[in-house]
Structure 1
Amino acid sequence: MPWVKSLLVVLLALIATAFGVIATTAALAWQKLPELDQILDYQPKIPLRVYSAEGEPLAEFGEERRVVLNVHVVPEHLKLAILAAEDERFYEHPGVDVVGIARAALVNFVRGGRAQGASTITMQVARNFYLSREKTFNRKFYEILLAFKIERELTKDQILELYLNQIYLGQRAYGFAAAARTYFGKPVQELSLAEAALLAGLPKAPSLLNPLRNPEASKRRREYVLSRMLDAGFIDQAQYETARAEPIVLVQDRSRRDPAAINDNGTGQYVAEMARLFALERFGEAAYTAGIRIFTTIRIEDQRAAEAAVRHGLLAYDRRHGYRGPEGWIAPEAITEEDWDALDAQLSGFPDLPDALAAVVVEANERKLVVWRHGQTIEFTGKALDFVRSNIGTKIPEAKRLRPGAIVRIRALPEGRWELTQIPEAQAALISIDADTGAVRALVGGYDFSLTKFNHATQGQRQPGSSFKPFIYSAALEKGWGPGSWVEDEPISFSAEVTGSKDWEPKNYDNRYEGWMRLRDAVAKSKNVVAVRVLNDITTGYAQQWLTRFGLDPAKHPPYLAMALGSGSATPWEMARAYAVFANGGYLVEPYFIQEIRDAQGNLLLRVQPKVAARDAPRVLSERNAWLMDSLLRSVVERGTATAARKLKRSDLAGKTGTTNNQVDTWFAGYQPKIVAVSWLGFSQPRSLGRAETGGRAALPIWIEYMETALRGQPEVKRPMPEGISTVLLGDVPEYHYSEFPPPEPYPPMPEFPEFLYEHPAANDTSEDPLYDLIRQRRLPQPVEPRHAPILERPFLN
């Protein structure tokens, strides 16, 4: 029929015209397409990463979490899951899948909406690199053209690699490697089929399908991906059923199921923050995107031991001072209605901390306390209630009472046991360095970085107390004092003219005095009065200048007699550097925590070359001064205020406890000749820790627990006595002194008797001997052999 032919001609003309218009438009648009330099020379934003000395990751910093993958190391089941979810015919089409478009159009027509899209992986790469996400025909047209252009320039594997590394998958994770670590805490090579399917389903809607926020939606999407894999023949029925039945276990779920896992809230976070600040200062904002890798000196085993020791020391201190009451409250209706999902959501508002997991009380009376935590019910009875017993009962004010809805903290113990605890109010710090190089082995700035970013190990300027005394004694050795020197442990007072301010009478910590004693015993027992007498003898100005040998700032230690008692200020970092001089035989080494820095390609940007003791570090103490100080400080451990450290069963440990006025700061600074460690415990805002809290009780246990790990496999070090030191026997005990100075006296100085006294008739009765009476009254050491001074008496006593 003529009109049919005419219609066909018109249609063909229209189609030809349309194709012509499209071809012309495409040709013009093609000329405007961007060059592909951005993907041909792909430079992804790679975050700053910080590692331990062994290469263990500590932290990463940047807006985008990203780990760049080579397509050839991606497991096959992850590739197949991605293809099934996004572009089943990826290896067959030229960038645009006509079959896929037709199938999607059919499905959308049947469902009456936009149920499926038809973007290929290549089109998604084009959109992610060059285009916005606006849904317009113009944007889609350019997306198709760019897809063709990309396919002309790159291989399929190169395109897939770009997709694997660039696609956003929620939680600031860009690329599948970063997502695997973010959601599952593992590399992509360790993903199961079910986990791979879950990640492959995220590109469709990363926020909506985020398994951390919407586990049910992510599970449904995972099942869809698995079904697509089954339909495509990528997996068989058995694999499908196994993967479909696998529960979704995310990183925080493992922490909830394994209480020990929560004890690692990110190892070495204080050190990582120090590294971040260093990188920011050196490289600027580019540090967050250039893939810079910082390798610290931190030894991962030491670091974990140090963090555990600080936590345990703080929890022990906190436990000694009683329970303060519930941390917060949850509406009890969720408990009575047994709405566990609502309860779980409310409990998540109280983040877990290492050794202090959040739980909610569901039942409380004088006999038992029942708490609930993420599906687990734990019951406390008997002695397990002792810590919180004062907060149980109807007579307790509601704000302090443990009742349903109260938030408490619990701590996992060995053998599946639990104990009630609380977040400590006090803080503590520990720093450990290599005595010969200054390399920081471990550094902890507080209980947990999420609680406080203030680094007490490097920023906490605190009074060092008696841990400062060794620097005074080191100066005194050069002025003729020695470990065997006699010194009087008796009250002493100084006038305002001497102190420069007001009258001062220093006291021993326990207000006990022992009369004449050897300097070694005074050091071991941490006698305050003795330290002040020694400083007064050598002068404050001389001692202040001596401090510079240890890297200490004299401006922080004014030249007053109170300096002997550590009234100045220092950080644990500074104290570790200073004690390393004693540990390594007299050399000043500078602590450092960065070993080397590399760029994203592995090129070396910085390597630290430390000055090493006995090689190129400056000698600041003579060998004999360091040796004698080591001998004195070992006495503190052997028979003084740090005898608790003898549990380590080593003969090469030395150190000094420190406690300031009113027990505001507690310290232990100590070492083995290869490792120096300093621990501190106190409040961030200085206040008393309590009358009985001393360096030996609060700080020393932290040091001991850390050193148990740090010294494992470390041989004992025996130091030979250097030249310039002589030995003298005091009874059966050898003592040491500088050879050019006289040896110590066998007896303490005796009092002089006035000439007007005359001989007592009972000359041989030592019980009435005034010398022996003095010995009793002033607690002078008993002489080895009886000594009879003339027995004298005042005339008017006849």
Structure 2
Amino acid sequence: MGVLISLAKLFAKLALAGVVVVLLAIAGVYYALAPQLPDVESLREVQFQTPMRIFSSDNKLIAEYGEKRRTPVSYENVPIHLVRAFQAAEDSRFFEHIGIDFKGLSRAAYQLATSGHIQSGGSTITMQVAKNFFLSRERTFNRKFNEILLALRIERELSKEEIFELYINKIYLGQRAYGIEAAAGVYYGRSIQELSLAQMATIAGLPKAPSADNPISNPQRAIERRNWILQRMHGLGYISDQEFEEASAAPNTARYHGADIELSAPYVAEMVRSELFERFGEDLYNDGYRVYTTLESKLQTTANRALQDGLLQYSTRHGYRGPESQLDTALTPDAIQQKLKGMTSYAGLEPAIVSQVDNQSILASLKSGETVTVEWTGLEWARKYKSHNSMGPSPRKAADILAPGDVIRLQKSTDGWTLSQLPQVQGAFVALNPQNGAIRALSGGFNFNLTKFNRATQAYRQPGSNFKPFIYAAALENGFTPASLINDAPVVFKDESIEGNLWRPQNSSQQFYGPTRLREGLFRSRNLVSIRLLRAIGIDTAVNYIQGFGFDPQRLPRNLSLSLGTADVTPLEIVTGYASLANGGFRVSSYFIQRIEDQYGNLIFDANPACANCTADPDTDDTTASRLSPSAPRIMDPRNAFLMYSMLQDVIRQGTATRARSLKRNDLAGKTGTTNDQKDAWFTGFNRDLVATAWVGFDQPAPLGRSEFGGTAALPIWIDFMADALEEAPENGPVQPEGVVRVEIDPASGMLAYPGQKNAIFEVFRAEDVPARSAQNAASGQITTDDIF
């Protein structure tokens, strides 16, 4: 027995001596190679590759750009069960060892000796941090040795908590998710704070094999890996018997959750991405910027719906263009489903295939696998489209419209399913705050996934009569009044650009009405009045004045056609110009980025737009911030701005936009616009809080139809938007400035009404422009043709 004890002591001493020798060898190599190792201190300032996220002003996620989904979290915010799950899966002695687990290394060395190659690395969490941040992923002895040396240095420089935090934010966990917070969102649509124990164990099981153990692509393997981790947690005393049993029996609840987009504003998201790419380059996708736009989620959602509904209504008014394609009726149900799964839904228009046609109903298959019935009320509208001006007869039975195998679009409403179609017509909608130019809503087309061309900012179209208010504003600045008489009479101009060299402009009604007051000429949109008005003030004078509203002078034609809106403008330019009419005559510039923060919440950009009439910041009610905001330059006499607002109110009260009276508000003003051959339809309207424009037309200019005008195609979209946008907002109309007076005039001559005149009307003037003569003088010959332009 004594001999055995002596031998045991000898072996113990030899083993201890061996360990000491190994440690001394490692220490010697460490101090020899330490100067060549990377600087571990850089880990304190590591910047994780984090995608850019774009938000509305009220914090709704609009978009996420970047290859890697990651949301860094601090150690203090990680649930203890999640920490323990990673310990059980990767490194149970993490909080005790010095960065190296000798037992694990011994196992790895044995595998290398017996098999001739590395099978498992025996890596601790610290060693994985060293590998992930500083080393390649090659499986060589040299890389492993550097990994060990770096782990020792990391342990010396950083706390255990700091090391663990680096690890959980760096690791790849499948499905483009890097770090535990991103993984919780991708697999479960929630934060790590909301995960169940089973879900935590599932995520902790992913670093070893993110693809093979993936709970979405390989759920059975994922459950096996999860349960092994739970068993380890139980054996290590991290969880109770009950917790272990419940978590082990839990079903796999993982499914893919894309970026949790809360607000559909893809056109604005692309505007942000494009602008910031010019500033940050490729770093934009990895540096974790958080961009807050000026959009208001309620207004953006309303704008999307209003524009889509308006374009669908136009499409319905002009008849059914037929199915998108025709499939072989002999296809099996599985083949039909495969066809449907390859089709995209757009704006609530679901692809479907007609399976049966009855007398006044059809059966159709959806890509969800459901078969639905479309009753006659959802079919009877579908007269055959022939041209933009004609349709076929009303259908009498479903077979007049569809046949089995037709690939169609269906739209669901509270009344059931309705036959629909993707509109060929397009449109744009923009709403902004007229006080500072902040874009509150913007949609550049029917659907971004259907076509990414942003018509709000990229489509240069003629605005037609929607441009006339700027001509009239120039006239007021050059001595005209709302009561000035303009002769609405035929006129012929020489124009070498047209056949016959003669231009004979006409009103849309093909009639002429003689001497017309300026106010009436605007609200009735008389073309001849606008032409003579522009000729009276001079083209150069008008162009020089109008460019002050933000229009590019290079795209303002220097001829009389300018009065009819032949300039090339975008919807965003038009609505920005109208902002000056709404805010009392100040020029503001549109903008859509309010602020930018880095991934740590540090402010790196904050918009400080020029502001009109600002007594408080119009977006934040921050009076301190408002005192720092620059004042927008004044481009209109405040009295003339008031007169223009007043005249444009009459467009709604008694002119071409009387449909807007349905809103039952007295603070609204605006102007319709229609170009030649009805190729473009516009309406732009406002109060002092909100200005918005709607445009409708084909991408390749073509007639909309003889009955389609600004008041029929564009105005309903604007009304639909404003009904929701201003639903709870108090009226905010123009404030009459000093130097404006209201007097009674004769509606025929624009002169002062005589005492007792029964048909007298009120008009507003700058004080110095009040007519000096009475209408009674007209009969005595004191009013001449010199009074009419």
Give the TM-score taking structure 1 as reference length. Answer: 0.79
Q: CA deviation at 1:672?
A: 0.7
Cα distance in structure 2, aligned partners of 1:363 and 1:717? 55
Kept after mapping to 1: 8 A contact 2:61/2:263: no
Question: Any residues of structure 2 matched to 1:248-267 within 5 Å, and which?
Answer: 248-251=254-257, 267=264
Question: Which of the numbers 241, 244, 265 marks the counterpart of 1:268?
Answer: 265
Question: Any residues of structure 2 matched to 1:644-663 within 5 Å, and which?
Answer: 644-663=659-678
Q: CA deviation at 1:184?
A: 4.2
CA pair 427-181 structure 1, distance change in 2 beyond 3 A: farther
Kept after mapping to 2: 8 A contact 1:265/1:353: no
Matched, 1:383 2:386: no
Cα distance in structure 2, aligned partners of 1:218 and 1:307? 41
Kept after mapping to 2: 8 A contact 1:108/1:115: yes
Kept after mapping to 2: 8 A contact 1:369/1:381: no
Question: Any residues of structure 2 matched to 1:536-615 within 5 Å, and which?
Answer: 536-614=535-613
Kept after mapping to 2: 8 A contact 1:585/1:627: yes
Question: Any residues of structure 2 matched to 1:217-296 within 5 Å, and which?
Answer: 234=239, 236-237=241-242, 241=246, 244-245=250-251, 247-251=253-257, 267-296=264-293
Give, as a single letter, the amino acid of the residue that structure 1 aligns with 2:468.
Answer: K
Matched, 1:320 2:317: yes
Q: CA deviation at 1:547?
A: 0.7
Matched, 1:628 2:643: yes
Cα distance in structure 1, aligned partners of 2:30 and 2:324? 63
Q: Percent identity?
A: 42
Question: Any residues of structure 2 matched to 1:386-405 within 5 Å, and which?
Answer: 386=380, 403-404=404-405
Question: Which of the numbers 675, 684, 687 marks the counterpart of 2:702?
Answer: 687
Question: Which of the numbers 348, 363, 370 marks the counterpart of 1:355?
Answer: 348
SS at match of 1:458: helix
CA pair 158-249 structure 1, distance change in 2 beyond 3 A: same
CA pair 30-321 structure 1, distance change in 2 beyond 3 A: farther
Question: Any residues of structure 2 matched to 1:124-273 within 5 Å, and which?
Answer: 124-208=128-212, 234=239, 236-237=241-242, 241=246, 244-245=250-251, 247-251=253-257, 267-273=264-270
Aligned equivalent of 2:473: 474
Matched, 1:714 2:729: yes
CA pair 741-697 structure 1, distance change in 2 beyond 3 A: same
Matched, 1:368 2:355: no
Q: CA deviation at 1:241?
A: 4.5
Q: CA deviation at 1:469?
A: 0.7
Cα distance in structure 2, aligned partners of 1:41 and 1:172? 24
Aligned equivalent of 1:733: 761
CA pair 329-100 structure 1, distance change in 2 beyond 3 A: farther
Aligned equivalent of 2:621: none
Q: CA deviation at 1:652?
A: 0.3
Matched, 1:72 2:76: yes
Q: CA deviation at 1:743?
A: 6.6
Question: Which of the numbers 57, 61, 68 marks the counterpart of 1:53?
Answer: 57
CA pair 95-441 structure 1, distance change in 2 beyond 3 A: same
Cα distance in structure 1, aligned partners of 2:500 and 2:776? 37
Give, as a single letter, the amino acid of the residue that structure 1 aligns with 2:251.
Answer: A
CA pair 665-182 structure 1, distance change in 2 beyond 3 A: farther
Which stretch of structure 1 is more off in the superposition, 18-27 or 287-296?
18-27
SS at match of 1:204: coil
SS at match of 1:678: strand
CA pair 721-16 structure 1, distance change in 2 beyond 3 A: closer
SS at match of 1:251: coil
CA pair 622-744 structure 1, distance change in 2 beyond 3 A: farther
CA pair 713-396 structure 1, distance change in 2 beyond 3 A: closer
Question: Any residues of structure 2 matched to 1:741-752 within 5 Å, and which?
Answer: 742=771
Matched, 1:307 2:304: yes
CA pair 593-151 structure 1, distance change in 2 beyond 3 A: same
Residues 46-86 of structure 1: CA distance to partner in whole angstroms, max 9, x if unpaired?
Answer: 33333322333333333333211112112344434434444
SS at match of 1:203: coil
SS at match of 2:573: helix
Question: Any residues of structure 2 matched to 1:435-514 within 5 Å, and which?
Answer: 435-496=434-495, 502-514=501-513
Aligned equivalent of 1:782: none
CA pair 165-411 structure 1, distance change in 2 beyond 3 A: farther
Cα distance in structure 2, aligned partners of 1:743 and 1:185? 74
Which stretch of structure 1 is more off in the superposition, 217-226 or 419-428?
217-226
Aligned equivalent of 1:768: none
Kept after mapping to 1: 8 A contact 2:321/2:384: no
Q: CA deviation at 1:115?
A: 10
SS at match of 1:541: helix
Kept after mapping to 1: 8 A contact 2:427/2:446: yes
Residues 624-682 of structure 1: CA distance to partner in whole angstroms, max 9, x if unpaired?
Answer: 21111111111111122222222222100000111111222221111111211122122
CA pair 10-52 structure 1, distance change in 2 beyond 3 A: closer
Q: How many residues align?
A: 727
CA pair 117-456 structure 1, distance change in 2 beyond 3 A: same
SS at match of 1:704: helix
Give, as a single letter, the amino acid of the residue that structure 2 aligns with 1:727.
Answer: V
Residues 423-444 of structure 1: CA distance to partner in whole angstroms, max 9, x if unpaired?
Answer: 3333322222211112222222
Kept after mapping to 1: 8 A contact 2:571/2:693: yes
SS at match of 1:679: strand
Kept after mapping to 2: 8 A contact 1:45/1:289: yes
Cα distance in structure 1, aligned partners of 2:596 and 2:373? 50
Q: CA deviation at 1:393?
A: 13
SS at match of 1:635: helix
CA pair 575-537 structure 1, distance change in 2 beyond 3 A: same
Give, as a single letter, the amino acid of the residue that structure 2 aligns with 1:492.
Answer: V
Residues 555-593 of structure 1: CA distance to partner in whole angstroms, max 9, x if unpaired?
Answer: 211121211111111112211221111111111112222
Kept after mapping to 1: 8 A contact 2:481/2:769: no
Residues 143-164 of structure 1: CA distance to partner in whole angstroms, max 9, x if unpaired?
Answer: 3443344333333322221122
Which stretch of structure 1 is more off in the superposition, 632-641 or 202-211?
202-211
SS at match of 1:371: strand
Aligned equivalent of 1:771: none
Kept after mapping to 1: 8 A contact 2:60/2:263: no
Cα distance in structure 2, aligned partners of 1:201 and 1:393? 63
Give, as a single letter, the amino acid of the residue that structure 1 aligns with 2:557.
Answer: P
Cα distance in structure 2, aligned partners of 1:216 and 1:135? 29
Kept after mapping to 2: 8 A contact 1:361/1:403: yes
Unmatched tracts of structure 2, length 5 or more: 1-5, 386-394, 615-630, 747-758, 782-789
Kept after mapping to 2: 8 A contact 1:624/1:725: no
Alignment root-mean-square deviation, CA: 4.4
SS at match of 2:493: coil
Unmatched tracts of structure 1, length 5 or more: 256-260, 753-798
Kept after mapping to 2: 8 A contact 1:440/1:591: yes
Give, as a single letter, the amino acid of the residue that structure 1 aligns with 2:140.
Answer: T
CA pair 557-359 structure 1, distance change in 2 beyond 3 A: same
Give, as a single letter, the amino acid of the residue that structure 1 aligns with 2:651.
Answer: V
